[in-house]
A and B are shown apart, each in its own frame.
Chain A
């Protein structure tokens, strides 16, 4: 049982990491950025290339790839979202154009790295293990859980205590009012995309390290779960996404342990339905004010 708790927490931290960036952009723009999973995948491949071809240490490759993912995020915003801003149907149009960006990114990855499953070279991360009362924990798993928690704390600090955070929250509240107050809305949105995509990219690299399999369609395996996580957590709610992420990971794991893997997604999504029946706005979602 102890081992399954570890498995669930670990899986949950991956979901939470992925969902954080997703929900940040939603909180600011009210738009689902469906290219998020493609940035996740692209960043994993980029780090893989830095490690295997440029022979960089993973501790160097991870931040480099993360920054690159952030820049890709700015590009996505510039190309797929900004031209549509201000249109009456910008929400739906943005959704579709981000889907197009995701498809383009997947094709690029297919061309550059091929369709096969790739993995980081052996020994990229030390394969040390800890034994906690009968449960085996990989050092890497602890690091990933730790990074997930750190990123949440860091983001919360950024949003609550810094000037940029206040600006982001102001834009989330009302872009028009923020502009009246003299905030450079375009810049704030671009920065939100940078942070969001960097988070998604970091999640991609950690996912690739943890599961040893990166392929052009790897993002799709977490996309649906990430979507479920931000809906249950409350659209745009950062702590909600984290709680829901860990919750989904644990529910999935215990479904497998208790009822067998065939029922995993059925039970997991049934629980999501129940949560939404009881709390239609999600765990920490709020009615009028959004917590970006």
Chain B
């Protein structure tokens, strides 16, 4: 009996091994670990919409020669623990070809090593921490520009327009992403001749920032730099304006979200944010993306544009690998993606597997982000 059972399980194993690649030829499963709840929930919903739109477009176009994409979206809860669980489900149960996500860099630093160890390619579409993501290993790739790429470019443009000489910085020190944004500000500001007068911190769970803002405003900076997630950012901007701060406010990537404008209301007016996605770009690929999102009743933003681009980069990789969607095929295909036309512009990977394209600067005007040329 025991022999029988072992025989059976062996047969099952062999069967799974054989049928695995055969099935992959028909559908390529993409596991997307997105923050549908928790601190980053505002980003997860729009990322999901971007992924779904791209998958539907590609499947309808038949560009992959009959091979269909299937997106499996799971909630990473904005936490490391749940992110790891979702990854294990993707890798072992759903047996996906490639993983998109997770939404937050903090989660990625914990979950990505699992995919790396299991040799499953990961494409990060919103992680912007300069370190700790793609340096995990050769299976981790990313679409999103790092704060290191966006902030200096946006800062240069903002300085040329406003001519500020001094800055005060407020950042969240218990999150990899907002801390990374601060690290870039700390080095980019002096490099461009802007003196940092003072720095204050807050925690993700904080709601009151009056003390920090009062201390910073007493230094009379020309510009207030804020590295925060959208939820904290909107409250920070409101409280800064209530305290009577009249100068310009420039944010890190976290403020780059319609949710920030919605919650901050009139206080958001004039806030400057660097962005990887130039919403005003007349490029037809970009316009098609915007129209597609609006047709689904979703407001397109940077996060959905990056998620959308991520799926197209995966499709391109499958194409370059000879329409094969195995885990190794997609990884090999990524390495050959070059100058792909996307809503973000012409997209390539750097030798370090990070995304590369031109960043832009935008400002809140009349409740919307407007690109400053």
Chain A residues within 8 Å of B, Cβ to Cβ: 3-4, 7-8, 10-11, 14, 110, 114-117, 119, 122, 127, 129, 136, 138, 207, 211-213, 215, 217-218, 220-221, 252-253, 256-257, 260-262, 264
Residues of chain A lying within 8 A (CB to CB) of residue B188: none
Q: A115 and B41: CB pair below 8 A? A: yes
B173, B234, B259: the one within 8 Å of A212 (CB): B234
Interface CB pairs A-B, < 8 A, 13: A3-B214, A3-B243, A7-B211, A7-B214, A11-B208, A114-B41, A117-B263, A122-B265, A211-B239, A213-B231, A256-B211, A261-B212, A262-B201
Q: Nearest residue in B to A255 (C-beta to C-beta)?
A: B211
- Cβ of A260 and Cβ of B243 under 8 Å apart? no
The CA-CA distance from A122 to B37 in the complex, in Å, is: 25
Chain B residues proximal to chain A, CB less than 8 Å:
36-38, 41-42, 173, 199-202, 205-208, 210-212, 214-215, 231, 234-235, 238-239, 242-244, 259, 263, 265-266
Q: Within 8 Å CB of A257, what residues of B?
A: 211, 214-215
Asked whether B202 lies within 8 Å of A261 as measured between CB atoms, the reply is yes
CA distance A114 to B41 in the complex (A): 10
A136→B263 contact, CB < 8 A: no
Whether B263 contacts A11 by the Cβ 8 Å rule is: no
Q: Determine the distance from Cα of A242 to Cα of B196 in the docked complex, in whole angstroms.
A: 39
Q: Is A260's CB under 8 angstroms from B41's CB?
A: no
Other 9 A-B pairs with CB < 8 A, given A4-B214, A122-B266, A127-B242: A4-B211, A4-B215, A11-B210, A115-B37, A116-B42, A122-B265, A212-B234, A212-B238, A261-B200
Are A213 and B235 closer than 8 Å at their CB atoms?
yes
Residues of B within 8 A of A260 (CB): 199-201
Nearest chain-B residue to A127 (Cβ)?
B242
A136 to chain B: which residues have CB within 8 Å?
242-244
Closest chain A residue to B170 by CB distance? A261
Q: Is the CB of A207 within 8 A of B263?
A: no
Q: Which residues of A contact B210 (CB under 8 A)?
A: 7, 10-11, 253
**Which residues of B sit under 8 angstroms from A215, Cβ to Cβ?**
231
Interface class of chain B by DSSP: helix
Instruction: Give bound CA distance, A136 to B239, whole Å.
Output: 11
The answer on a CB contact under 8 Å between B206 and A221 is yes
CB distance from B271 to the nearest CB of A (A): 16
Q: Are A220 and B211 in contact (CB under 8 A)?
A: no
Closest chain A residue, CB of each to CB of B230: A117
B207: chain A residues at CB < 8 Å are 207, 211, 213, 218, 221
Task: Please indicate the chain B residues that have their CB under 8 angstroms from the CB of A7 in the complex.
Answer: 208, 210-211, 214
Question: A256 contacts B200, CB within 8 Å?
Answer: yes
CA distance A213 to B238 in the complex (A): 11
Instruction: Give B198's nearest chain A residue, CB to CB.
Output: A260
Residues of A within 8 A of B265 (CB): 122
| B36, B207, B266, most chain A CB atoms within 10 A | B207
Give, as a whole number of angstroms, the nearest-CB distance from A214 to chain B: 9
B216 to chain A, nearest CB (A): 10
Interface centre among B202, B206, B211, B215, by most chain A C-beta atoms within 10 angstroms, is: B211
Q: 6 tightest CB-CB pairs across the interface, nearest first? A: A256-B211, A7-B210, A211-B207, A115-B37, A253-B211, A117-B231
Interface-centre pick from A3, A10, A117, A138 (highest chain B CB count, 10 A): A117
Q: Enumerate chain A residues within 8 angstroms of B38, measured Cβ to Cβ.
A: 115
Chain A residue with the shortest CB-CB distance to B44: A115
Asked if B242 and A256 sit within 8 Å, CB to CB, the answer is no
> Chain A contacts of B214 at CB under 8 A?
3-4, 7, 257
Distance of A252 Cα from B210 Cα, bound (Å): 11
Closest residue of chain A to B35 (Cβ to Cβ) is A115
Given contacts A136-B243, A207-B207, contact A119 B263 (CB under 8 A): yes
Distance between Cα atoms of A220 and B263 in the complex (Å):
21
Complex Cα spacing A7 to B208, Å: 9
Which residues of B have CB within 8 Å of A252? 211
B266 / chain A contacts, CB cutoff of 8 Å: 122
A138, B205: Cβ atoms closer than 8 Å? no
Give the nearest-CB partner of A123 in chain B. Answer: B265
Measured between beta carbons, the chain B residues less than 8 angstroms from A212 are 234-235, 238, 263
A10→B213 CA distance, assembly (Å):
15
* B235→A211 contact, CB < 8 A: yes
Measured in the bound complex, the distance between the Cα atoms of B207 and A220 in whole Å is 11
- What are the residues of chain B within 8 A of A221 when measuring CB–CB? 205-207
Q: How far is the CA of A105 from the CA of B259 in the complex (A)?
A: 25
| A116 interface neighbour in B211, B212, B239, B259, Cβ under 8 Å | B259
Could you tell me the distance in whole angstroms from the C-beta of B202 to the nearest C-beta in chain A? Answer: 6
Cα distance, A116 to B44, chains bound together (Å): 11
Closest to A7 in B: B210
How far, in whole Å, are A78 and B215 apart by their CA atoms in the complex?
A: 47
With both chains docked as a complex, state the minimum distance between the C-beta of A34 and any C-beta of chain B, in angstroms. Answer: 17
Once the chains are docked, how many angstroms separate the CA of A114 from the CA of B201? 28
Q: Which A residue's beta carbon lies closest to that of B199? A: A260
Min CB gap B59→A, angstroms: 30
Give the residues in chain A near B234, CB-CB below 8 Å.
117, 119, 212-213
Enumerate chain A residues within 8 angstroms of B41, measured Cβ to Cβ: 114-116
Which residues of A are found within 8 Å of B199, using beta-carbon distances? 260
In the bound assembly, the distance between CA atoms of A114 and B259 in angstroms comes to 14
The chain A residue with its CB closest to the CB of B243 is A136
A282 CB to nearest chain B CB (Å):
24
Residue of B nearest to A214 (CB): B207
Chain B neighbourhood of A264, CB < 8 A: 211
Contacts of B263 in A (CB 8 A): 117, 119, 212-213
